[in-house]
Amino acid sequence: MKAFWKNRKKLLLSLLTAALVFGIGSTLAYEASGTGAVTNRFSPADMTTDIEEDDSLGNKTVSIVNTGKSPAYVRARIMVSGVAESDLLFVPKGSSMKDESKVYIEVNRTDWSRASGDTSKSGFFYYCAPLPAGSTTPPLMYSVKIGKDLYGGEGQPKTLSDFLEQTGFSVTIYQESVLAEPGGLTSLPAIAALF
């Protein structure tokens, strides 16, 4: 019986020694590999967009420029004050004025789209592609034409400049942007859902 206990003690002592050696060794290995400095290898998104306008010679060309470091989706709203919404028409570039009692705003319907069902005049136009960093959209709008029947008649402002001053007529562009998804969306409903 003594031989049995002796062998068991040796076996138990050997197992304890092995557990102690493995436990200390793995703790030292963990501490040696787990205490170094960790460096992040990514940079945060940097998305900034601005309005770029040219008001020369009666034209009002408006584009959006991405001045950030990340691609973006953009949308813009054309807000007009000084005339009733019913007197405002958004028309393609080069359209002739068929109704001189309206204000015509020439917009780019090739590169910019409106969400389906948006019938308001002050709704958003969406640029339907990701705008890369450092790039500029094609123009959203090209010009503003004011019909001659809105001034010069009896009880109306005498000149176009009188009309602009007396009505407070102005065209204001408001734009928003969101970070573009990798791969790039081109579907208007998918892009509009991001805003």
Would the pLDDT of 137 be above 80?
yes
Q: What is the pLDDT of residue 66?
A: 95
C-alpha distances in Å from residue 103, one per residue of 61, 65, 79, 171:
16, 27, 13, 11
Q: What is the pLDDT of residue 42?
A: 65
Among 91, 99, 191, 180, smallest CA distance to 143 is for 91
Q: What is the pLDDT of residue 125?
A: 94
Average of per-residue pLDDT values in the chain: 81
**pLDDT tens per residue, range 79-98:** 999 888 889 999 998 888 88
Contact predicate 101/70, CB 8 Å: no
Q: Determine if the pTM surpasses 0.75.
A: no
| Mean pLDDT within 29-42 | 60
| Mean pLDDT within 98-125 | 85
Classify residue 149 by its DSSP letter. G
Which residue would you say has higher pLDDT here, 161 or 6? Answer: 161
Q: Which of 10-14, 101-105, 125-129, 148-152 has the lowest mean pLDDT?
A: 10-14
